[in-house]
Structures are given as structure tokens and as C-alpha cells.
Amino acid sequence: MSSDEYKSEDEVLGKAYDSKLMARLLSYIKPYKKYVIFAIFLNIIVAALGPVRPYLTMIAIDDYIANSDYNGLIYIGLALFASLLLQSVIQYFLTYYTQYLGQRTLYDLRTQIFNHTQKLALKFFDRTPIGRIVTRATNDVEALGELFSSGIVMVFSDIFIIIWILAFMFFMDFQLSLVTLSVLPVLIYGTFLFRRKVRDRYRDVRLHLARLNSYMQEHITGMSAVQIFHREKEGFKKFSGINDDYRVANIKSIFYYAIFFPSVELVSAVAIGLIIWYGGGEVVRGASTIGVLFAFIQFTEMFFRPIRDLSEKYNILQTAMASSERIFKLLDNETFVKNPESAVKLEKVNGQIDFKNVWFAYNKDDFVLKDISFSIKPGETVAIVGHTGAGKTSIINILTRFYDINKGKIYIDGIDIETVDKKELREHISIVLQDVFLFSGTIESNINLDEEKISREKVIEAAKIVGADEFIMALPNNYDQEVKERGATLSVGQKQLISFARALAFDPKILILDEATSSVDSEAEQLIQRAIEKLLVGRTAIVIAHRLSTIQNADKIIVLHKGEIRETGNHQELLAKHGIYYKLYELQYKDQEVKAS
Amino acid sequence: MRNLYTLKKYFVRYKKKLFLGFVFILLSNAGSVYVPLLLKDAINSLQDNIDSGLLLQYGLMIVGASLFAGVFRFLIRQTIIVVSREIEYDLRGDFWAHIQKLPLRYFQNNSTGNIMAHATNDINAVRMFLGPAVMYSADTFIRLVIVLTIMMLLNIELTIYVLLPLPLLSFVVFKLGKKIHHRFSIIQEKFSELTTIVQENYSGIRVIKSYVREDSEEEKYAQNSEDYLNKKMSLVRVQSLIMPILILITGLSIIIVIWLGGIKIIDGEMNLGEMTAFIVYLGILIWPMIAVGWVMNIVQQAEASMERINNIFAEPYEIEDTEKTDNSITELKGEIEFKNVSFKYNDHLPEILKNINLKIPKGSSLAIMGYTGTGKTSFINLIPRLYDCTDGEVLIDGNNVKTIPLGVLRTNIGMVQQEPFLFSDSVKNNISFGLNDLDENRVREVAAIANFDKDVEQFPQKYDTVVGERGITFSGGQKQRCSLARALAINPQILILDDSFSAVDTHTEELILKNLKWFLVGKTSIIISHRISTVKDADNIIVLSEGRIAEEGNHDDLIALDGIYADLHFKQLLEKELTEMT
């Protein structure tokens, strides 16, 4: 768990109720409206089955036991049993069913968040910590679970149980009901008071727990600092203080529980006392029966649970409000790279690329590319070189429309890329990034990325061409080998070969290759070099080059410096100029020549 | 139960309070079992015409008995549950005291999340055992004995019939509880799988977008999400059983009372009052019977958690003061020597440092250079004993570091790590982290040396500004300068900087180095850097390569040697030219 989560915990208890949020939340149940209504209907029925039993008991005592009617007693026994069985069965299906409804709704919401988020522009991902987005899509949705699965439907259930009990009581003995129910305001008031107190205490406990957790989290992460400065003793003192606050907060909340539960029992004892005193008097006067007293004693026990549950619903609501607010904020984020309304079709691509006076900035007016113009003919390979911060990566980002440019135009086969559907554009361009990203899954699924059109044969073929087949076949499960922890068990070189195979399998007309700078051993280096040569055949390629061999084989080299094109030409021409390229060569590429020779 | 036995020492500490708790349980039950007996007499008395005064008396007595029981019930929670919080506090304290002493190796092998899980979930599971489990088992046992005795005295036959379904209740709760726990862990696994998918999607968003895999990702996620839904529902299927089964079993007992009891009343073997008492007693017994099943699960989970906690308690400290420690050493002068030092992180890992021999005279400066992964950080980690060398010895002032008291050693060495960690506390508390008392003048002084003072003046609350998410987020350079100030604050005899200026621009670095020059008079310093500009004025420079000292000498010596150092020098000059070009 990240420290972010621990810290956000104390922020959870925020707004209690917001009708706009609630309306939006409820809109998620709309598709299941019919089912919800049915569930509520079932609730009304099942709510009656509990209170009916004390009523049946009354009949048993007053009509049958008093009259020594064995048969009648058997009928009542059966009726009691039937109501019990029915209640249990309906209760089971009802619980299951409402949970299912709730989980379905969560499923919808979860999927919506995921689908929405992955469509957002890279700009969004640059600005937002991934941990936070993940929390929205997972934990925050879970926090809504209770509201959808038990909250909404169960509120009806509790209300109906109370209504039924009242109905039975008043039907059986109006006056005794009034007397018995006179304790009810105390019970309700007490329960809500308790809830409020406990909520405050609970908030306190959570706050201290959050402090405790973030202290531990932070100091486990920074344990080396603690040990280097020999601060264990002081650290422990501070920890003990926080630990003690947490203990005290807990003990304080124990007090309320310790008062509450016996108090409830006391209230119900008062109710029973009243039944005996007032009801007993009625029985003596002949105004009521022992069976009624008997039933009323049972009713007093039934009353408490729904009232307690209702008071709990408030907490559920509060948590749901906080989570939903954060979720909706994400869903309302509209950072998209816009698609043209009527897109130009880009079916077959030859691979001509033209940059015309392109200006680009990530942040307003802070241009990283300035007035860039160049052309690449179909099938050509262009190497882009430059020192750190020259703007090399930005060229990739704008060609694939991860970001939109500020000024100028980019054409593919003479078509302005802003008029083309993003997805269609990207289908013709493959990117091989420096840091190879492997997904959890198999080797195969990392090459074809679960694209069904790319068969196993094609995957193997691609792997063979780039020279990855050999090491893959050496793995225990070959192409079905699980990739764990983003490929931690694979070497850097192997990961690169997989990403080459990936690009090859998708067979794009245009290839962008961001060569990795990390060093690999010479054997792997040769493999990679050969793979790159194969990869470039028959494609238009832009390579952000770190390898001398790649540069030497390129048709043209573009030297970027601080966002501008400063030199163009081939290797020999540029060296002869003794300019920026020459320096870069001395700095980065010359050693490779030495090593190779 | 073997692991939970280790909790004995904590229980003993609170034995008085616990004993009182058990007495309260006894008293409280005495009160609550009296209520049904009163009801019985009241109902029976109704059949002989009695006056309402007596009824009122019964009513009041019922309330009185409940009040009596309630007072003690209050006291039970105030003793037993409170003790559980006390023990939790003690246990967590011991846990933390232990964790703090574990070697860095432990923190490298165990993720923070993992350790946190023990500190939170496992301790919590044990707490559930200490409090609720202890209270409910004692309560259940006592109540069961008393209530059963009374019920038997009232009517043996009916008691037996009525009680038949109740053990089933404990059994069902136990079984279902176990199943629920099991399915719950499956769900948690699936949930973390789902989280991984989301996380990977967002981390790999460039690949996904460039290969146009959005649709297939959506499908994959929907599938997994559906799978999660199904796993959840498999839990719900079991969970939904609990309420109906409780209703069914307890209801069954009541029906038996009414039915069999009714027959007995008709036959004259029993009276209505007794039947009432039976029903109310059942009500009293139901919760304890449910609790039995629940408690059994708590105990099982607590046992598993306690085992994990005990495993952590069993982790050795590795680096600590021993009988070899020479307590007469109270200060360091600053002469360091490496004698045939070799080091590896683990028995089955290759050697990081191989037979290093080096003398660093008191008051001199040493600079270490070399490519990444050549053992530079491992080298300096041996000095304050963050790790112990596997072969040879590291000496300070001629004493093996293993004989120097750890406190003396570390409080005399100021170290700035490669990725320094700052706490989410105020700037001044961070800088004075190694000091016993906050000394604001000292804080300002060292901040000035680290060229951090001007930054602090820009912060909204100056030195009281909180670092991190809740305050201001430092840039890499600010982090490095702040932690440099922290290391200087303790006025160390030995200062070690591990690539501490990598995020600081060269101009600022120059200023800091100038300031450090007079700070370091008479002190020993070791500095790792990738920049020639940082190291060129050091008294001695070594270049590490593959765990060995490849080159040694001062700047001019090494340039003349025309090796790794000279190559780095040449390239950095070129780089400087490139960046300065417009």
C-alpha cells in the first residue's frame, strides 16, 4: 500500500450527503430498475414473516394450549415452521440477489473508469501519479460496494420490518402497544446518539491509525536514515507517542460500546417490565391475554436490529459520497487528443513523411521543437541524433499524435495527420521504446499483444527473424512462458529482442525506434544489431540512434540541438564538418568503433 | 496454539485486571439469568388473581436485575477489552523496537508493503484474539453453565430437545466462517490481480496506444472484472447463508419450546411461566452459541498471524554491539583503513568488492569514481557498518569497526545517501534529525554551508515548511542539499557523500564545495561522484572497476595515466562544450 492511501484515509469522512452525487450514483442502478423493484417487493414479504411468529404463538397459547387442543397446537407448530422456512429461503435469495445487483453495478462502474482512463491523452498520465489513478479504478469503487450491495435495498427491508412489527402490535393490543413503545424514543435517541459518538470516536481512531501507519510506512522506507544517524531510540520514543495516542483513542471508543450494549438491554428490560406491569394488569382485568404478553415480549427483542442498522447506513452513505466524488472527477476529465470529426481514410501507406515548420511545446510557449522541417522518402531510414534535451523523443510523440503540435504540419503520404483517425494512424506506425514494457502474460501475448490476427506461427516467425526464437525455446514453457514482474527474469537484451519481435509481428509501414542506451554484452549487442537491420528492411524508419552501426547504415542523419535541426547529411559528410555531430561522435560513438575493431 | 503461547508474558502483565474481568463476567451473568426466572413467576402469578402492586414489583425487579447485569457488563468491556488494547500497544511497541534494529539487508529483501502488512493486519488479528475472543469464550462458558443448570432444573426433557439444534449453530458458524475466510483470500488475490492489470495498463499506456490495443485491453479488463465479480459472488453465496441459517436454527428451538412445551402444559407437567422462561433463556443463549463458532475462527487466524510475527521476532540483528565491543572508544579521530576487504551481499551472489586495500589519513579527502555497478556505494556502506564486510577488516583509528560501539561509530559519521530520504516533517526538524535538541542557529548555519538557505527563504513557512506531499515537494537538488545539511548538522568527524550533487547544477556545486573546504578542516571526507569537477581537488582519487581499485592518485596523476579517469575527463569536457553551444 502506498503512503498516499494511508494519508487519504482521514480525508474519507468528508461530506455526508450530496443530492447531485447521489442522483448520479443512482443512475448506475437504472439499467436494473426492474430488478430493484422486485427486490423491494420481496423485502416487504419477508419482513412480515418474522413478526408473524409471535402472533402465531399468541394464538397457540390463548386458543389451543388454554383449551387443551393438541391438534391445533400441531397446526400452529407447522405454520410456525412454514413461516420460518419460507423466511430463511427468501432471505437467502434476497441477500444473494441484492448483492449480485450491487456487484453488477460495481462491475459497470469499474469498467467505465478503466475504459475512460485509458483513452485519456498522455498529457494526463504525465501529470497524474499512476498510483492515484489505480486507486480510483479499484479501491474507490470497492468503497461504493456497500452502498450498492446492501445499502439501498436494505434500507427498505429495515423500514418494512419496523412497519410490520408495529402493525402486528397495534392489531393485537393497542393500549399495550403504546405503553411498550413508550421506550422506543429512548431507544432511537440512544442509538443515534451512540452512533454519533462512536462515529466521532471512530474518526479519531482512524486518524490515529492513519498517523501510526504513515509513521511506520515512512520510517520503514527511510530506515537507513534512522540507522545512519543512530536515531533508533528517539524514533522509538516518537513511535510510542503515536502508538499511545492510538491506544487511548481505542480505549475511549470502548467506553461507548461498553455503555451502549448494556443500555440497550436495559431499555428492553424496561419494556418487558412495562409489559408485565401494564399488560399483566390488563390480563387480570380480562382486557388482554397471556398470549399477547408472550408475543409482546418477543417483539421487544425484534425491534432493536433494524433500528441499529438504519443508524449504520449513514456511515455507508458518507464513505460512498467521498469515493464517488473522486471517481466522478476522474470520469469528468476530458483530456483527450481530439479526433477529427470526419476523418480521412488512411488505408494503404507508402511511408512518405514530411515535417513542415513544426513547432511543439509540452508547456505553453516553452518550445522543445522549433521550426522543424524534413522529408523522408518511403523505405528510407533516418537517424536522429543529439545531446540530452535536444528534442528527439518529442518527434516520436508528435508523429503518433500522443501530443498535438502547436504550429506547422506533419504529413504522411501527403495527408495531414490531424485529419486522420488516431487509431488508424497508429496502426501504420510501430514504436519500439527504450524502456521495454512487458505485460504480465506469456511471451506470446507480449509479442502479439493479444491481437488475434497475429497467429502463433506469425509470432514465431517474427521471433525467428529478430533472433529471439533461440532463447525463447530455451525457456521451460517456450512461447507460453509466463512473464513475471514485468520481465524481471529476462535480461535487458532479451527484453529488447521481444519488443523487436512485437514491432515486426505488427508489420507496420513506418517504424520508430528509440534505441536503448543501456549496455549489453557483446554477444547480445551483435544479436540486437542484426535484428535492427532486419527490422528496418522495407520500411520507413525514424531511429533515435545510439548505435554507431545504425547511424552508419542510415540514409540520412538529422542532428538536433536544443530543439532545432542544426546539421543533416550522412556520417562521412557530417564528420567532415567538425560541428556538433563530430562532438557527439567523440562522446558517444567513437568507443563503439574502438570496441568493434 | 503454539505461537499464541508467546503472548503469555503480556497476559501476565495484566493478570489483575483480567482476573477482575472474569469476576465481572460471573456477576453480570448472575444478574441476567435472574430475569427469566422473574418473568416465570410473574406470568404464573397472573393465573391467580393478584393485585397490580405485585406486578409493579415484578416489573421493577426485572429492570433492577438488568441494571445489575448491565453495570458489570460495562465493567467487563472496561477490563478485558481494554487489556487487549494495552497488550496490542505493548506488542506493537516490541515489534517496532525489533524492526528498527534489523539490518538494511532485511529491508532490501522485504518490501515496505510486506512489513506493513505484518504491522497492521497480523497485529490486528492477534488483537481480535486478545480481546473479543477471550471475552466471548469466558462469557459463553460461564453463561452456558448457569443457564443450562437452571433450564435442567425447570425441565430436563424439554431442555434436551430444545438444545439439540444449538451446537449445530456453533458448528455452522465455524464452518461457514472458515469458508468465508478462504474465499475472502481468493477474492483479495483476484483483486490484486485486477489492480495489477490496471497498473500495467497505465504504466504501459504508450505501448498500448501506439499498437492500438485499447479495445483488446478493454476486453481483457472486462473479462477479469467479470471474473472478480464471479469470485465475489462465490463468497456471497456462502455469506448469504449465515442469516437464514441463524434464523432457521434459532427459530427451530423456539418452535420446539412452543410445541413440546405446549403439550406439556396441556398435560399439566409444566406451566406457562416456565415456557416463557425457556424462550427468554434461548434468546440469551443464541448469541454465545454464534460467538463460539466465530471465536474458533479468530483463534485460527490469530495463530497464523502470530506465527508470522514470531518469525519477524526471530530475525537476527546481524549488526549490533557485542561482547567484542570496546566501550572505552568514545570518539573517532578519522583515520580509515581498508585491509584486504572483500564483500558480497549474499553467499550465492558474486563478490562486489575484491580484496580492497586503502588508507585514508585523518583529515584528508578521498574521491571515488567509476562506472555504475562497480561497488562504490558498497564500499562506503562498510564504514558506518550498514553492512559488514565478508572478508578482511575495516579499521577506524586502528580499531576494527566491529569493536567500535555502534552509537559512537554512527554519530561520528555524517553520510548522505545516493537517494536521500527526507521525512514528512518541517525543514528544520529534518535538518536537525541527528541532533538531540533543536538548535535553530546550527540549522541555519549548516543550511548555508549546503547552499540551501536561499531556497528555504523562498518557502512559505521558511524553516517550518513541511517536506513532502503535505507541504512542498522538493526538487532532486533540494533534496540532496537538505540531506547534506542534515549530515553536516551532527558535525561529523567523517563525512561521506554518495553522488550527492548529481541533481545540483555545477555552479551551485562549486559554491558548496568551497563552503565545505573550511567545514572539513581536520575532518576526513569521502566523496563519490561522476563529475570530474567534483573530485579533481581531492587529496586522493580512486577509480573502481569491477570491485577493484583500478586507478589511484591525484587529478594530474590520473590524467597522465590516460585510463578510465582520463577518458571520463575528456568526455565531460566535450559534454560541457555541447551544452554551452547555442
- Write out the three cell numbers for B289: 452459541
Q: At what angle do helices A290-331 and A174-181 cross, to 10 degrees?
A: 50
- Write out the three cell numbers for B282: 434461548
Same domain, B460 and B362: no
CA torsion A274-A278-A281-A285 (nearest 10°) is -150
Touching check for B100 and chain A: CB below 8 Å? yes
Higher pLDDT: A69 or A151? It is: A69
Give percent of chain A with pLDDT exceeding 90.
Answer: 6
CB B499 within 8 A of CB B529: yes
Same domain, B484 and B555: no
Alpha-carbon separation of residue A414 from A303, A424, A536, B17 (angstroms): 78, 16, 22, 87
Q: At what angle do helices A52-59 and A290-331 cross, to 10 degrees?
A: 170
3-state SS class at A490: coil
Cα distance between residue A215 and residue A238, in whole Å = 9
Same domain, B407 and B509: yes
**Tens digit of each residue's pLDDT (9 = 90 or more) over A43-86:** 888 888 888 988 988 888 888 888 888 888 888 889 989 999 99
Long-range contacts of B168-173 (CB under 8 A, 24+ apart): B168/B249, B169/B245, B169/B246, B169/B249, B169/B250, B169/B286, B169/B289, B169/B290, B169/B293, B170/B289, B170/B290, B170/B292, B170/B293, B170/B296, B171/B293, B172/B245, B172/B249, B172/B293, B173/B242, B173/B289, B173/B290, B173/B292, B173/B293, B173/B294
CA torsion A564-A565-A566-A571 (nearest 10°) is 150
Please report, for chain A, how many H helices and E strands are present, in that order.
26, 12
Nearest to B74 among A117, A231, A258 (CB): A258
Q: Do A402 and B120 touch (CB under 8 A)?
A: no
**Tens digit of each residue's pLDDT (9 = 90 or more) over A116-146:** 888 888 878 877 777 778 878 887 888 787 7
**Tens digit of each residue's pLDDT (9 = 90 or more) over B218-248:** 888 888 889 988 988 888 888 888 888 888 8
Mean pLDDT on B343-368: 86
pLDDT score, position B4:
85
- In this prediction the ipTM stands at 0.84
A440 backbone dihedrals φ, ψ, rounded to 5°: -70, 140
- Write out the three cell numbers for B513: 564545495
**Tens digit of each residue's pLDDT (9 = 90 or more) over A386-420:** 877 778 888 888 888 888 888 888 888 888 888 88
Touching check for B579 and chain A: CB below 8 Å? yes
- Write out the three cell numbers for A469: 526464437
pLDDT score, position B332:
86
Cα distance between residue B513 and residue A486, in whole Å = 41
B469, B491, B513 - which closes a domain: B491
Same domain, B380 and B502: yes
Task: Beginning with the edge strand found earlier in the chain, give each strand of the sheet holding A367-376 in spatial order.
Answer: A367-376, A353-361, A407-412, A415-416
Residue of B61, B77, B264 to mutate, interface with A, max A Cβ within 10 Å = B77
3-state SS class at A557: strand
Q: Do A76 and B86 touch (CB under 8 A)?
A: no
Q: Do B251 and A80 touch (CB under 8 A)?
A: yes
Same domain, B511 and B547: yes
Residue A16: which pLDDT band, with cuts at 50, 70 and 90?
A: low
Task: Beginning with the edge strand found earlier in the chain, give each strand of the sheet holding A381-386 in spatial order.
Answer: A429-432, A510-514, A540-544, A381-386, A556-561, A564-569
* Cβ contacts of A323 within 8 Å, gap of 6 or more: A12, A140, A141, A143, A144
Nearest to B92 among A243, A293, A584 (CB): A243
Helix boundaries (H) for A436-521: 443-448, 456-466, 469-474, 492-506
Mean pLDDT on A95-101: 86
- Matching CATH number, A380-401+430-560+567-596, of 3.60.70.12, 3.40.50.300, 2.40.30.10, 3.40.50.1370: 3.40.50.300
Q: How far does chain B reach from its first CA to its final CA, in angstroms?
A: 74
Residues in chain B with CB shorter than 8 Å from the CB of A562 are: 582
Tell me the longest C-alpha to C-alpha distance in chain B. Answer: 122
Residues in chain A with CB shorter than 8 Å from the CB of B82 are: 251, 254
Query: Which helix (H) or strand (E) covers residue A233, if one does?
Result: helix A232-274
pLDDT score, position A273:
92
Q: Enter the DSSP assignment of A67.
A: T
* Cβ contacts of B360 within 8 Å, gap of 6 or more: B335, B336, B337, B366, B524, B526, B540
pTM of the full structure: 0.78
Same domain, B501 and B464: no
The reply to whether B459 falls in a domain is yes
B491, B510, B536 - which closes a domain: B491
B431, B464, B491 - which closes a domain: B491
Residue A17: which pLDDT band, with cuts at 50, 70 and 90?
A: low
Mean pLDDT on B478-506: 87
Query: Which helix (H) or strand (E) covers residue B133, if one does?
Result: none
Same domain, B434 and B528: no
| Topology classification of domain A16-172+317-336 | ABC transporter transmembrane region fold (1.20.1560)
Residues in chain A with CB shorter than 8 Å from the CB of B578 are: 387, 561, 580, 583-584, 587
Structural domain that includes position B448:
419-491
Same domain, B503 and B473: no
Written as one string, the DSSP assignment of B82-120 is: HHHHHHHHHHHHHHHHHHHHS-HHHHHHS-HHHHHHIII
Q: Do B195 and A76 touch (CB under 8 A)?
A: no
Same domain, B498 and B444: no
The reply to whether B354 falls in a domain is yes
Which residues between 316 and 375 in chain A have a beta carbon less than 8 angstroms from any beta carbon of chain B? none
Mean pLDDT for all residues in chain B: 86
Residue B287 pLDDT exceeds 80: no
Mean pLDDT for all residues in chain A: 82
pLDDT score, position A304:
73
Same domain, B500 and B580: yes
Side-chain half-sphere exposure of B460, counting CA atoms within 13 A: 7
pLDDT score, position B49:
67
Looking up residue B427, the CATH number of its domain turns out to be 3.40.50.300
- Write out the three cell numbers for A126: 504525465
Residue A274: which pLDDT band, with cuts at 50, 70 and 90?
A: very high
Q: Enter the DSSP assignment of A540.
A: E
Residue of B252, B409, B421, B572 to mutate, interface with A, max A Cβ within 10 Å = B421
Q: Are strands B548-553 and B540-545 parallel, antiparallel or unpaired?
A: antiparallel
Q: Do A400 and B209 touch (CB under 8 A)?
A: yes
* Cβ contacts of B518 within 8 Å, gap of 6 or more: none
Q: Do B218 and A1 touch (CB under 8 A)?
A: no
Nearest to A122 among B77, B205, B262 (CB): B205
Residue B204 pLDDT exceeds 60: yes
Scored b (16 or more CB within 10 A) or e, A46-73 reads bbbbbbbbbbbbbbbbbebbeeebeebb
Give percent of chain B with pLDDT exceeding 90.
Answer: 13
